[in-house]
Structure 1
């Protein structure tokens, strides 16, 4: 099989971020991009693509700057090469992010622990 190389630019919502350690350490980033939603929904298709970040410094920067729900713009390259094992399937195309910017942050919920909220009222106070 021939090897092909091309570049990409995507703008979309980060759906998931997963750090993988095998076969080598990399970050998997799932991004959903806007598209012809009605047509895709009819076929049961979710417009989501998985991208990789392989540079250690960039992985840390991405994890510190981006959370699921954020809208980002990313650029990089992809290759179509021989098949390699990924989980229980074979993959022949790798999308590798080389740069990104955060366009919109998803409001993060703040979880506050209030231990006395669920305590029923007592007849006496200590």
Structure 2
């Protein structure tokens, strides 16, 4: 019935559950707002310059995905764990708030995803 329409949508005969794609949906539907907030909240990444900013953004996102485990993030990034730790130290110095605060992790991950999409091309 109607509940199924809210939870999922058919695409080419395939049922797609909205919950499984929530970050992408939020970013697509609220893209402009997400970009504005990302630009403000992630301003230190802009100031680092295009290449370094992108490198740090991707590192921070992977660290968040891995619970700030440098070894796990390093494997995905194909760098040495010490490189991840060095970049994290840089990131801690750049932001005026605790980037490892669990209360802001979801927001930061969404904003980083938006920022990387915009700057990674």
TM-score, length basis structure 1: 0.24
Larger radius of gyration: 1
